[in-house]
A and B are shown apart, each in its own frame.
Chain A
Amino acid sequence: MKKVILFAALAVTVMSSCFKSDTQTENSSQSDTGIIKKITVPFSTSGKYKLFRLVDSSYVLNSDSATSSWDFGMRRATLIFNSASSGPGQGAVILENATFASVTRAPYDGYAFDTTASQKAIKDYSWYTYNPQTRGFDPIAGKTFVIKTGEGRHYAKVQFIKAEYEPFVGPMPVNIIYTFRYYYQADGSVNFF
C-alpha cells in the first residue's frame, strides 16, 4: 500500500511538472519540443485498443474504429495504426532512431503497416524496455515515430516519454498512463518546422 501511495504521489508531482512544461512549450519552437500529452490505455492484452487522433489530440470512440478518423491505437504497450489489418484508413508509421528535435522531415517512403494481427508495423519491445524489477514499460530515449494520419493526408511525429501505472488495487494494473509528445503538421507537408 505504501508503494501505491508513493507511486500516486510521484505521479502527481510528475503531472504537475508536465503542466508546467506544457505552458513553456507554447513559447519555444513547438516542432522541437512538441506538445506534451497523456493517454490512458488499458493494461489488458486482449481488450479493446484505445484510439487516438492527433489533429485535435482527442480519443476516438471504439464505435468509430471502422473509420479513418483515428491515427493510432494502443493497448498495454502494443501500437496499431489505421490501415491494413488494423483499420480502413491509410495510416502508416516509421520508427526512427533519432531524437524528437532531429526529425525535421517525414520520409517519402519506407512506411510500415499492420500486415496481420500478429505482425504489426511496430513490434513490441522495439521502442520500450520492460523492467522486471519495477514491472514498468519504459520508453527508450531517442525513438521517434513518424506517423501518416488515418485519413492519409497529414504527417506527425510522436515520441513516448514515460509510462506509469494508474494507481491500482489488486495484482494487476488496470491502466497505463503514457506521456508522449507530438508535432502535427497541419499544412499537409512533410516538414516538421
Chain B
Amino acid sequence: MRKIIFILFLFSIQFGWSQTDSSSNKKLLEEIVVTSNRTATKKWDAAIPIGIVSKKYIQLTGSLKLQDILQEQTGITIVNSTLSTSLSGYPNPFGQGIQMEGLDPAYTAVLVDGEPLIGRNAGILKLGRIATGNISQIEIAKGPTSCLYGSEALAGVINIITEKPTAEELNLQLYAAGNSTFSQTISYSNLIHKTSVQAFVNRYSTEGYDLDPSIYGKTIDPYTDWNACLKINAALSKKTDLLFSLKNYYSKQTNDYQIYWQNNPTIVNGYTTETDKTLFVQLKHQLSTKSTIQIRTYFDNYNNTSFVNLKNTDYTFDETSFDQTIIKPEIQLEHEGSFHKYILGGGTNFETIDASRYAGKKAVQTTYAFSQNEWYLFQKKLVLNAGIRIDKRTDFDANLSPRISTAFKPNNHIKLMASAGYGFKAPDFRHMYLSFNNSQIGYALIGNNILAEQLESMQQNGVLDPSININPYLQLPTLLPEKSFGTSITATYRSKKIQIELSVFRNDIDNLIDVYILPFTKMNNGQIYSYHNVNKIFTQGINAEIKVDLFKNISLFAGYQYLEAKDKSVLDLIRNHKKIKLDPITFRESLVSENDYIGLPNRSAHTFTSKILWQNNKYHFDAFLRISYRGPYGYKDINGDDIIDDNRELASGYTNINFSARKQFSNQLSVQIGVDNAGNYTNPVEMPNIAGRIYFINFNYSINQLFNKSQKNQL
C-alpha cells in the first residue's frame, strides 16, 4: 500500500500539468483522476473529460488564491454575483463565484476530497476559504455530473483533492505581497509504522485594498484567515484502512463603511467572522482482491456572523448570522473486474440551517443512492459508462439523474468521448424560507414555503389591505428542483509533444427558479417578492485547448471558449414579434430580431487563456507567464426590453496578466517572485474582486528525507 501511494505521489509530481524533458523521455503521461467515477482511474481511461490542475501548476504560479488559479483554466470564468454591485458603494456582500458552461456559480458543486463545501451566500461559495498549500490536484468535470454528486452538480464539479501523507517531510512557506499581504504555512507529514500523518497550518492576512478612494471604506476590508488540517491514515490491517481528516477554517474581516443614520453620513465598524469545521472518517476494507467497501461519515459546520456598530458606540446598526450543518453517512462498494468497474453507494444527508434572515431553524434530509458501471471493451479501446443516482429530499419527489458516456480510443493518441446526462439543483433554503424585509426601500422577499403564512400574518397585522385576495397564494405548489440535460462531444489528441482537446457542449435547463412580484403591494406601497420555477434557458459552446512542448524546456498552452447562453422564453417573444426595444438616444421603437439578441447577462462569448512555461533544469530555474482574456459581457439593459441585445449594453472585456519566476537554490530552498495582474486592470464597479497590480515573493523551505532525488528531478 505504501508503495502504491508512493508511486501515485511520484506520478502527481512528475507528470503534472507540464511535462518536463525528463519525463518526456518516458512514456505518455498517465494522470490519475477520481472525479469521473468516484474511484481512482487513469485519465486516459475515463469516459468523460476531466481537467486537471496539478500541485506543480499551483506551485509554479505561486498563487495562494484558488480563484486566481481557476480563472486561468479554459472555460472557467470568475464572475461577480449579479446583485453585488451597490449604487452607494457599500461593500459587496456576495462576492464572486465560478461560472462554468455559462451557468451561475450556484450550479457548480465545489468538493473537497469528494465532499461538498457548504455555506453558500446567495448561491456563492467564498473560494478564499480553501488554502492552496495542501492541494495535490484540482479536478474539473464540466457538464451535468449529478449522477454521482447529486444536487448542485448541474453545470459541473470542481473537486479539490488534498495531499495524502506519504513520507516524512517538513515544509515551510513564507509569502509576502502588496497590500501588506502575508502568508505563513507549515506542513509536516510522516509515516510511523503503517500510519501516515499530515498536519497543515496556514495563516493568511491582508490589509485589503481600495479601488475608489472617493467612497469611504475599502473595496476589500482587511482580513485574516486561518486554515488548519490534520489527516491521519492508518492501515489497521493489510486489508483495512482508516482515514481520519479534520479541517478548521477561521476568518475575521473588519467591517468599516459609511451608512446614513437619521439622514447623516455615519461610519459603522464591526467584524465578520467565519468558521468552517469539518470532520471526515472513512473506513476502507478490501472484501476480496476485486472488491472494496468504504464506510464514511462527513460532518461540516459553517458559521458566518457579522455585525456593525455605529462608530464609537455600542449601538448595533446591522447584525446577521448564518449557521449551516451537514452530517452525511455514506457507504460505497466497488468491484473491479478485468473488463469492468462497478460502483454502488448510498447515504443520507442531514442538513440544518439557522440564519437571521430565515424564519427559524430549518432542517431537511436527502437520502440518495447511486450506481455506476464502466465497461472496458476491445482492449480498453472502447469505454462505456452508465450511471444513475436517485435523490429523495423530504420536501420533494424522488429525483433521478442518469448519465451515459463513452470513450473510443482507436490508438494511444486519439480519444473521442460523448456524454449525455441529467443534472439537478434542489431549491435552496433561501428560495424556501428567506424572510427579508428591506426597511429602506420597503420591499419584502419571502421564500416560497412560508409565503402563505407570512401573507396571512401581514393581513392580520394590517400590513396588507384586508380587501386583497391572497387565496391564490395560500396553496402554492412547492418549488421543484431545477433540472438540466447536458450533452458533450470531445476529441482529444495526445503525443509526447502535443496535446489537443476540442469539445462541443449544450445544456438545456428547465424549471430555473427566479424571483417574481406579487400583483399587490403592502400598505406602505412596498412590493412583495417570492420565488417560482419559471425560466428555461440553454447554454452551448465550444472549448478548445492546445498544449505544445517546444524545444527541451518550453511549454506553450492556449485555451479558448466560445459561449452562447440564451433565455428560451425571450426567444419565443422575439419570434412572435412581441419584443420591442426603444433606442435611448433616438427614441425610436422597433422589434428586436433574433440576431440582435446577444444572450444572458454576465456571459462573455469569447474567453481566451494562454500560458508560457520555461524550465531550466541546469540552473534550476523556471518562469511562468499566464494571460487570460475575458471578452465583453452583458451588463445592463439600456433600451427598455430587459435583455442584452445592443453592444452598448456590454461591459468591455479585460485581460489579466500574471507572471512568476522561481529559482531553486538547494534541495531545501526555493525562492519565487512574481506579479499578479501585471496590466493593472481594475474595475471598481463591475469587478471589485480584481485588485490592481500585486508583486509577491515566496520562500519555500522543505526538509525531505525520502525524495532528495525526485525533488531535484522535479525542476
Interface residue ranges, A against B (CB under 8 Å): 1-3, 14, 17, 21, 33, 36, 45-46, 76, 78, 97, 99-101, 116-119, 123-125, 129, 131-136, 138-142, 161-162, 170-172, 181
Contact = CB atoms under 8 A, between A and B. Distances in A.
Contacts of B524: 45-46
B640 A140 contact: yes
Contact of B83 (A132, A140, A141): A132
Max chain B Cβ within 10 angstroms of own Cβ: one of A33, A133, A136, A139: A133
A3 B87 CA distance: 8
B465 A162 contact: no
Contacts of A141: 580-582, 589, 639-641
B587 A118 contact: no
B586 interface: yes
B637 to A, nearest CB: 6
A181 B641 contact: no
A134 B87 contact: yes
Contact of B582 (A78, A134, A161, A172): A161
B318 interface: no
Contact of B214 (A2, A14, A45, A100): A2
B263 A170 contact: yes
B636 to A, nearest CB: 5
Nearest to B526: A45
Nearest to B579: A142
Contacts of B260: 170-172
B312 interface: no
B420 to A, nearest CB: 35
A83 B526 CA distance: 23
Contacts of A118: 465, 467-468, 520-521, 523
A117 B465 CA distance: 9
A118 B518 CA distance: 13
Contacts of B525: 45-46, 76, 78, 124
A117 B523 CA distance: 9
A17 B581 contact: no
Interface string B170-214: 000000000000000000000000000000000000000000101
A51 to B, nearest CB: 17
29 contacts: A1-B214, A1-B215, A2-B212, A2-B215, A3-B89, A14-B584, A36-B587, A45-B442, A46-B524, A76-B525, A116-B465, A116-B467, A118-B521, A119-B467, A119-B468, A125-B517, A138-B640, A139-B582, A141-B580, A141-B581, A142-B640, A161-B582, A161-B587, A162-B640, A171-B88, A171-B259, A172-B260, A172-B440, A181-B587
Nearest to B524: A45
Contact of B589 (A17, A76, A100, A132): A100
A124 B521 contact: yes
Interface of B: 82-83, 85, 87-89, 212, 214-215, 259-260, 263, 265, 440, 442, 465, 467-468, 517, 519-521, 523-527, 578-582, 584-587, 589, 635-637, 639-642, 685
Contacts of A100: 589
A14 B584 CA distance: 8
B440 to A, nearest CB: 7
Contacts of A131: 636-637
Contacts of B640: 138-142, 161-162
Contact of B580 (A116, A142, A161, A170): A142
Given A78-B525, A116-B467, A99 B85 contact: no
Contacts of B584: 14, 161-162
B473 to A, nearest CB: 15
A157 to B, nearest CB: 13
Nearest to A169: B265
Max chain B Cβ within 10 angstroms of own Cβ: one of A1, A123, A139, A171: A171
Nearest to B468: A118
A75 B87 CA distance: 21
Contacts of A119: 465, 467-468, 520
Nearest to B89: A3
Contacts of B263: 170
B580 A99 contact: yes
Contacts of B467: 116, 118-119
A99 B685 CA distance: 34
A161 B581 CA distance: 10
A100 B583 CA distance: 13
B440 A133 contact: no
A138 to B, nearest CB: 6
A33 B586 CA distance: 10
Nearest to A142: B580
Contact of B636 (A117, A133, A162, A181): A133
A128 to B, nearest CB: 9
B519 to A, nearest CB: 6
B90 to A, nearest CB: 9
Contacts of A124: 517, 521, 525, 527
A98 B117 CA distance: 49
B436 to A, nearest CB: 13
B588 to A, nearest CB: 8
A123 B519 contact: yes
Contacts of B82: 132-133
Contacts of B519: 123
Contacts of A125: 517, 527
Contacts of B589: 99-101, 141-142
A17 B585 contact: yes
A142 B642 CA distance: 12
Contacts of A138: 637, 640, 642
Nearest to A101: B589
Contacts of A133: 82-83, 85, 635-636
B470 to A, nearest CB: 12
A123 B528 CA distance: 13
A72 B208 CA distance: 51
A116 B519 CA distance: 14
Contacts of A21: 586-587
B109 to A, nearest CB: 26
Contacts of B579: 142
Given A14-B584, A33-B587, A141-B581, A129 B642 contact: yes
B258 to A, nearest CB: 9
Contacts of A129: 637, 642
